[in-house]
Structure 1
Amino acid sequence: MAKTQSVSRVEFAMEAIRERIALAPGTRLPSIRQLAENLRVSKSTIVEAYDRLVSEGAVEAKRGSGFFAAARLRPFRLKDPGFQLDRAIDPLWIMRQALTSNATFQPGSGWLPDDWLAGDMLRRVLRGISRDEQANLTAYGSLQGYLPLRKQLARRLNARNIAAEPNNIFLTDSATRAIDIICRFLLQPGDAVLIDDPCYFNFQYMLQAQRVQTIGIRYTPNGPDLEQFAAACVEHRPKLYLTTAVLHNPTGANISLSTAHRLLKLAEVHDLVLVEDTIYADLESRSSPGLAALDGFERVILAGSFSKTLTGAARCGFIVARNDWIEGLTDLALATSFGTNDLTAQATHRLLLDGSYRGHLEALRPRLARAMAFTIEQLEHLGFELWIRPECGVFLWAQLPDQLDSADIAIRALERGLVLAPGNVFSVSQTANHFMRFNVAQCANKKVFDLLGEVLKP
């Protein structure tokens, strides 16, 4: 991994160890030899790094057993977001680089290009709201959020066979905010939470902020590995499972119907809540059942938003849950943000009501399909092996040729103006180092693959 003289090898190693500690407090850390090989530094560097961290109290040395992450949970810390090539690649690496670098191409990002989104529609709707004397431009919003939008969302959910009423819905400013509120509502520090391995990288840091224990469950083309899931339920007694069941991030897979049914049965047996992130579901050409359609909100909480399909600037998200939970979720949101964004909710409602959003999706889906076919062709030409071939959506999960390390490739690509998404930022177990996630909408320019081909060369 590239380093600069301003960051010593010991400091570099300490930072990499701290990332492991943050994600798995109390667990055994790699041996000196193993970590030296992984970070490509000397054993003496690792010895000194471990010694310093032991003196700080971040690492515990157990004679004859090795080194362990301190069991106590440290205060949550986000690092400076500067554009640095020498930073260890952690779960927020992609977001930092995509938002702060001057990279020309961003095939590793999670959002659509600006010119694929609804800028013109938003300008028109916002002008209309500004001229409407009945529109709310100044007052705080209602407790659960703008009622006309909640009614419209309920109709859309029912069209997907998800039985919901407006009173089951609480509006937020994003899916990330929705999941944060859900976790605050249901979890206590030290609780165990199951997530997919691989999964959306920010799930790891959101859960770290909740000070909970995160357990990764291997993800398959049909959904989570149910044998491993059941074993984890017995061993860790988790409170919650967080997943993206439809158009999974980063793999693009959909949970199969049989896996979903068996998963719900396991959740009932082990008294587990399932949180389903549906942020990409509108990009499906035909709706998949997911979890909420099968459960009726007995154990499933739905979170979603329009940030990926409509706009990332005027954000509008939502939570769908059973009635006896909505009041508590609403109170928690009021305590931490004092209500919802009525202006964004009004704009989103108008776009749903007048058919603009439906027309936008109808144009977007075939465009994504073309980008998917093009990206698959280009990746296979470069020697990548696809994990699956998604029917639709945004993401491809692909294995690099020749067992190349995706973190090394991502660092080298930054120097050529490419932000890539190395596999281990998505993996709790750190077993995806030969994989990368590709956003097909950000890969429409052939130059992306010309530059990637140069980076792959020895």
Structure 2
Amino acid sequence: MDVVRVKIVNRSLAPGDRLPSIRRFARSMSASPSTVAEVYARLEAEGVIRARRGSGFYVTGADLPPMALAEMGEPRERTVDPFWVSRLSLDAGSSDLMPGCGWLPASWMPNGAIRKGLRALSRGEAGLLTDYGSTRGALALRRLLIGRFAEEGLPATVSQVMLTGSGTQAIDLICRLLLRPGDTVLLDDPCYFNFQALLRAHQVRIVSVPFTPEGPDADGFERVVSAEKPRLYITNSALHNPTGATVSPQSAYRVLSVAASHGMTIVEDDIFADFEPALSPRLAVLDGLNRVIRIGSFSKTLSASIRCGYIAARQDWIESLTDLQIATCFSGPSPLAASIITGILTGGSYRRHMDELRQRLASAREETAKRLAPLGLVPWVMPRGGFYLWCRLPEGLDSSSIAQRCMEDKVILAPGNVFSVSQTAGGFLRFNVAHMADKRIYMALEKAMTGPARPV
């Protein structure tokens, strides 16, 4: 009975769907047909399902509970739930330390340029302060993006680019367009945890491929795509989250070849592009926006408060995505956000800001790795840019348990299994080096790693 109820809660069984036959369900549960017949009879008495003579049993939809994303997928401890780090970091108090969060400290951001942009807005046209945005977003910012794409060898037109409310909304719109409940989506293992959380909301099946320092495991990638037939593959090519690795040219070509032979679409999240000291291979550039969709945003480099993302794709897909954005948000992102970002990108301050940021992060990565070494925490790879270190724990330690202990000292960590579809990253922690200067973090880690063992 619980199995049926969970399937209804997570929407893998929707109102009107037919349940498996008694014999088929009995085989899948290793139970007798008489037991399953009793289960169906009780659920029918509760009004959860109803029988149709000669046809079988169907979900009624009566008293259908709200969809609980945290309960979807395989049962797991809340400490390794993909929502765990997000909730703790977003709701953190002023005294909390956040080495597990996914953004830079406010003091590292171009606050002077943002304030200048806000002052300019206050003196601008009234419509900019009060009107809806256009359906595809501000033309000036889209043209800027096209210019940036051209610098890396990616030709695109304004009809192939649209702005969105955020990078997450960009993926959500793509999922709405290309996926249906029950479809299969491929993710890296490990991968950005919110990819998993968002896909749960779309009621799709998630499969994964191990990620290596050069990209997804080549043989494993081909096997899983051939066997599972995923509709989408979602990834970061450059400065991969959480590992910091960068896809090699050989891996990029192999991924594109496999995707083409199996009709799979790729979503390439390029949010960390500007943190690279030099451009690395990009799937969208090699593919020319044929089978690859590029998304990104400015939350990591400019401001997480000024919400604006983008999608670059085939023109016919942009047309359909624009309609979806109208249906779900009515317009493109805030004209205020687009105007501020455009102003910063067109001035010389942005390039200076990113040059300084890359240098500062390089020092922070080196210093953090040096201070973690005495604790036995070793980077899986040393990234060529960005602000993450994906570190392996000493043998026998579990990152979820350590993260729980560190919470007692108001230190918010990112345990490995929140990033792992297969739950095989319990021996890793992701550190944001920009938040690692405080010595209390290292004291809390040492205390958590050397304290008495807790059940995992």
Which TM-score tier does this pair reach, normalised by the shorter chain?
A: 0.7 to 0.9
Aligned to 1:241: 233
What is the distance in 1 between the residues matched to 2:92 and 2:68? 21
Gaps of 5+ in 2: 14-24, 33-58, 72-76, 452-456
Task: Work out whether 1:121 is the aligned partner of 2:127.
Answer: no
Give the 3-state SS of the residue equivalent to 2:144 in structure 1. Answer: helix
Aligned to 1:108: 100
Indicate conservation of the 8 Å contact 1:76/1:208, yes or no: no
Aligned to 2:162: 170
Q: Aligned-pair distance for 1:149?
A: 0.5
Give the 3-state SS of the residue equivalent to 2:267 in structure 1. Answer: strand
What is the TM-score when the length of structure 1 is the normalising length? Answer: 0.82
CA pair 348-122 structure 1, distance change in 2 beyond 3 A:
same
Letter in 1 for 2:247: I
CA pair 237-430 structure 1, distance change in 2 beyond 3 A:
same
Indicate conservation of the 8 Å contact 1:421/1:438, yes or no: yes
Match of 1:347 among 340, 355, 358: 340
Question: 1:369-402 deviations in whole A, cap 9, x for unaligned?
Answer: 1100011111112111221111111111111113
Aligned to 1:378: 371
Task: Work out whether 1:98 is the aligned partner of 2:66.
Answer: no
Match of 1:62 among 14, 18, 30: 30
Match of 2:428 among 435, 438, 443: 435
Aligned to 1:77: 68
Q: Aligned-pair distance for 1:333?
A: 0.6
Give the 3-state SS of the residue equivalent to 2:129 in structure 1. Answer: coil
Question: 1:138-166 deviations in whole A, cap 9, x for unaligned?
Answer: 22222211000000011011112222222
Q: Aligned-pair distance for 1:287?
A: 1.2
Q: Aligned-pair distance for 1:289?
A: 2.1
Aligned to 1:325: 317
Letter in 2 for 1:192: T
Q: Aligned-pair distance for 1:89?
A: 2.9
Indicate conservation of the 8 Å contact 1:129/1:135, yes or no: no
Match of 1:192 among 161, 174, 184: 184
Match of 2:197 among 175, 198, 205: 205
What is the distance in 1 between the residues matched to 2:151 and 2:10? 41
What is the distance in 2 between the residues matched to 1:415 and 1:160? 46
Task: Work out whether 1:366 is the aligned partner of 2:359.
Answer: yes
Give the 3-state SS of the residue equivalent to 2:382 in structure 1. Answer: coil
What is the distance in 2 between the residues matched to 1:233 and 1:89? 26
Give the 3-state SS of the residue equivalent to 2:395 in structure 1. Answer: helix
Question: 1:106-158 deviations in whole A, cap 9, x for unaligned?
Answer: 11111111111122211111111211237722222222110000000110111
What is the distance in 1 between the residues matched to 2:145 and 2:216? 28
Aligned to 1:406: 399
Indicate conservation of the 8 Å contact 2:395/2:427, yes or no: no
Indicate conservation of the 8 Å contact 1:125/1:347, yes or no: yes
Aligned to 2:144: 152
Q: Aligned-pair distance for 1:104?
A: 2.3
CA pair 263-87 structure 1, distance change in 2 beyond 3 A:
closer
Indicate conservation of the 8 Å contact 1:160/1:289, yes or no: no
CA pair 415-402 structure 1, distance change in 2 beyond 3 A:
same
What is the distance in 2 between the residues matched to 1:135 and 1:276? 34
What is the distance in 1 between the residues matched to 2:442 and 2:204? 40
Q: Aligned-pair distance for 1:299?
A: 0.5
Identity across matched positions, percent: 46
Letter in 1 for 2:190: P
Task: Work out whether 1:299 is the aligned partner of 2:267.
Answer: no
Indicate conservation of the 8 Å contact 1:154/1:164, yes or no: yes
Indicate conservation of the 8 Å contact 1:251/1:396, yes or no: yes
Gaps of 5+ in 1: 1-13, 27-56, 65-71, 81-85
Match of 1:393 among 386, 389, 412: 386
Give the 3-state SS of the residue equivalent to 1:403 in structure 2. Answer: coil
What is the distance in 2 between the residues matched to 1:348 and 1:238? 35
Give the 3-state SS of the residue equivalent to 1:402 in structure 2. Answer: coil
